[in-house]
Chains A and B, each alone.
Chain A
């Protein structure tokens, strides 16, 4: 019954490899891109221009997000479209810049860059470096789960907040879904 092996190859092995490839591609894109982004970020930080991490990119780095306790070091990109989020956390262009007064929204995938959000606790510190303000410290004020239709944020334009957003529940394999996990952090004012 040799005739069956081609079918198995065509209908099971090839799609199988394809799906695995797709999965690995998404994961590796997320890891590799961060390295290219790091170089673009180093340039962005020093100059005033936006440096694209690769010539055809439709985004550029705007900030660096670090959480030393969890060994997290990520470059945040401009915009939070799906295309952008494949490479790194994305900043919602309609929201304030991190460190500027108002609400700043940064989103990333729960299964790649923002998997660590589940380990963040209120009171913990996260650091965000921008070209404008240097490194600033934010203290986590709350973590919560919301339905995205009901997500609302404090209206306070005199202080600065950063909201890290990812899908909820963690570990779920089916993408989509309407629940979001939000870690909110307030800028720590350094009194000098």
Chain B
């Protein structure tokens, strides 16, 4: 605005100067003086306008948005936070220590949750926490002072009753339940005033191995889930402690929505210690989102957080890469339990050289989540990724963009060719995207996967989201039923994406999943995704055993492999395996691999790995029409045998003697969790709208300007004669 003023002034003066060139010297000076004064006045005024409009602007945009937690009050009364000061002070404190041991393809983690009751009442604490989606939770230990009580595995309802009974009787008890494969609850009953109780949970997870990199992800935050559907009226409470009500679409909403701590300081610090025995020399060992300290003793690495602890507001990810000539092509581990032979296989087919010889034209649909939880850095990451993706399109490819929050919107009514003009339109559309509102994912998926008639195109759907929804199963069903010839690739965005959603959606979509939790990663991760999209698939992969072997392999149907992905199999057999062979097809060429198992390494946890894979496969079979009752029985069998927490089994630990006096009831406390890094409460939970316009301000301002203009004109008119006389003097 300012530069425009001065330019204008310069242009005018030059012309005026020429026009008035006959003027005498004396008045010339006076005119210039006056001009200068007026110029100064105008500049000051211009500056004022600029500042003022900016203040008004900043005010409407930067003002803190509100936080409505419509369902967050359990007392059934109208509550304003300020009326109950220090609402969170009574909430028990929580510290978490995590010890992870990594060897081979498996990691075993011990999580110690320290609950401290700072109130003067007996309490029950309920804590909802995330774990990796492949986690096999198999041990629970409750530490009371020096003693500890080992948990037992029970059918879910039985375990719940065991726990409730202990709670009533005043005994200390702990119950670990699975709400989602990556979301668990820990309830601890009868913590005395001032007392600390440590609940130790042990689980095993499978490492992620892709394109020569190993990674271990430890989730620490839960992005508040969007709960679609209408609230159901229940006479019997399901005992949930969350901010959401159960709905017809998410029947357990109240159990997966822990209260969110909105204060300045983050709560629930976590310490992480990792002992890594990779089994090969490393070229790289790094943590993606946290600063770490690394120490090496022989071949073993010790990793810990630089600051000792970190607030639990974003996922932790450790990445390591073997030196080039040590990149594993295949690995076999085995374990014998009760006469059963369990094996774990990892085979990485050689990278295909180059791209598809005859690349088919693609029709790519990009879906971008613009719901409230994506607000801020998440949307920035998604936009960056999307812009990059557009640049990878070729001229004969077609594309479209769908955005969704509470409503779904698409850029073009049908997919358009990736012409320069269309890309430009798309980029503008992307730059203008804003995140707000709900996460109604189903309409967007339906739209993207609707029947396409274009036969000569390869259909790909690229889905950028944080997956913060509570109705995962319904969405998997849509993907499974409508996929047809399309392929769905998920890109998990943000500090704490819903890993379960990312992995399963990609699995049902026969694509792959990627995480982008930092803008700096966009390039690297997207490039690797493009490579996958372009390289030929390995398909029809089959495993063959020797004739006399009876084996149970999970997954039953081996999924297609994208470039850089390994085959990972869990096999139970009646005899130790001597050799297996794998067949597949890539770019019309057959691929075959034969594995001799003489040098198979014994490894603890292979049985657990097999059982966890089987449970996952059984859960998936529900989407293929398997009967609920049968699946439940099968899961119960394998989970109880292998001591695993699942949808139908829980771990429960109960103290032998009562400790709480009979006359005091324990207060139930839902443990609050942090909002993931970079998220805004208001955007995530909805907001009260901005309810004032600048109409009045504009009117007042406009009028002031006009009045000033009139005043100045009058003033100048009255001073004009002096100058006229001056002009006439010569």
Contacts and interface: CB of A to CB of B under 8 A. Distances in A.
Interface stretch (A33-41, A65-73, A123-131, A153-161): A153-161
A109 B691 contact: yes
B73 interface: yes
Contacts of A86: 693
B172 to A, nearest CB: 30
A103 to B, nearest CB: 5
B68 interface: yes
Nearest to A100: B230
B78 A92 contact: no
Contacts of B76: 154-156
Interface in B218-247: 230-231, 233, 245
A7 interface: yes
Interface stretch (B448-456, B621-629, B697-705): B697-705
Given A79-B406, A92-B686, A155 B697 contact: no
B716 A4 contact: yes
B689 A12 contact: no
A92 B696 CA distance: 25
Interface string A66-105: 0000000000000111100110001011111000111101
Contacts of B688: 105, 107, 148, 151, 165, 180
B63 to A, nearest CB: 4
Contacts of B56: 174-176
A90 B689 contact: yes
B64 interface: yes
Given A109-B693, A149-B64, A13 B42 contact: no
Contacts of B406: 79, 93-94
B240 to A, nearest CB: 13
B728 interface: no
Interface string A116-156: 00000000000000000000000000100011111111111
A129 B49 CA distance: 44
A1 B690 contact: no
A152 B687 contact: no
A155 B245 CA distance: 9
- Among the interface residues A6, A10, A23, A153, which one has the most CB atoms of the partner chain B within 10 A? A23
Interface string A9-28: 11111011111111110110
Given A150-B80, A150-B82, A175-B690, A19 B46 contact: no
Given A7-B42, A154-B77, A157-B233, A173 B697 contact: yes
Contact of A22 (B61, B230, B698): B698
Contacts of B691: 85, 107-110, 114, 165-167, 180
Contacts of B698: 19-20, 22-23, 26
A131 to B, nearest CB: 17
A69 to B, nearest CB: 22
Given A4-B38, A111-B695, A80 B63 contact: no
B69 interface: yes
A5 B705 contact: no
Among B34, B46, B82, B696, find the residue whose CB has the most chain A CB atoms closer than 10 A. B696
B694 interface: yes
B64 A94 contact: no
Contact of B702 (A23, A90, A172): A23
Contacts of A58: 407
A19 B407 CA distance: 34
Contact of B81 (A8, A10, A150, A172): A150
Given A1-B719, A150-B80, A112 B693 contact: yes
B60 interface: yes
B580 interface: no
A19 B80 contact: no
A107 to B, nearest CB: 4
A174 B699 contact: no
Contact of A102 (B60, B72, B231, B705): B231
A70 to B, nearest CB: 18
Contacts of B233: 101, 157-158
Given A6-B12, A178-B64, A111 B692 contact: yes
Contact of B79 (A6, A11, A107, A152): A152
A167 B701 CA distance: 21
Contact of B45 (A11, A23, A148, A178): A11
A101 B234 CA distance: 13
A148 B16 contact: no
Nearest to B43: A11
A24 B700 CA distance: 11
B34 A1 contact: yes
Contacts of B230: 100
Contact of B705 (A19, A178, A180): A19
A39 B596 CA distance: 77
A174 B697 CA distance: 6
B215 to A, nearest CB: 35
Interface in B669-715: 682, 686-706, 708-709, 712-713
| From B76, B713, B723, residue with most partner A Cβ within 10 Å | B713
Contact of B72 (A12, A110, A152): A152
A155 B692 contact: no
A142 B78 CA distance: 10
Interface in B51-84: 56, 59-61, 63-74, 76-82
Contact of A17 (B8, B16, B706, B716): B706
Contacts of B492: none
A57 interface: no
Contact of A148 (B42, B66, B69, B713): B66
Contacts of A82: 689-690
A153 B702 contact: no
Nearest to B63: A176
Most A Cβ at <10 Å: residue of B406, B705, B708: B705
Contact of B67 (A90, A151, A165, A177): A151
Contacts of B42: 7, 11
A48 to B, nearest CB: 18
B706 A10 contact: no
B438 interface: yes
Nearest to B695: A26
Contact of B437 (A24, A93, A152): A93
A189 interface: no
Contact of B686 (A13, A94, A176): A94
Contacts of B16: 3
B66 A155 contact: no
B692 A26 contact: no
B716 A1 contact: yes
Given A85-B689, A107-B689, A94 B438 contact: yes
B692 A175 contact: yes
B66 A173 contact: no
A27 to B, nearest CB: 5
Contact of A152 (B78, B695, B706): B78
A1 B720 contact: yes
A81 B703 contact: no
A94 to B, nearest CB: 4
Nearest to A117: B691
A155 B73 contact: yes
A176 B719 CA distance: 43
Given A82-B690, A85-B690, A111-B693, A12 B69 contact: no
B689 A19 contact: no
Given A103-B70, A148-B65, A175 B694 contact: yes
The 9 A-B pairs with the shortest beta carbon distances in the complex, nearest first, are A148-B66, A19-B702, A16-B705, A12-B709, A176-B59, A20-B702, A23-B698, A23-B699, A107-B689
18 contacts: A11-B42, A15-B702, A16-B708, A19-B698, A19-B705, A79-B437, A81-B689, A90-B689, A149-B81, A151-B688, A152-B79, A154-B76, A154-B77, A158-B233, A167-B690, A167-B692, A176-B56, A178-B64
Given A3-B16, A16-B708, A175-B60, 12 more contacts: A8-B709, A11-B42, A22-B695, A79-B407, A85-B691, A93-B407, A94-B70, A152-B70, A158-B233, A166-B692, A174-B56, A175-B694
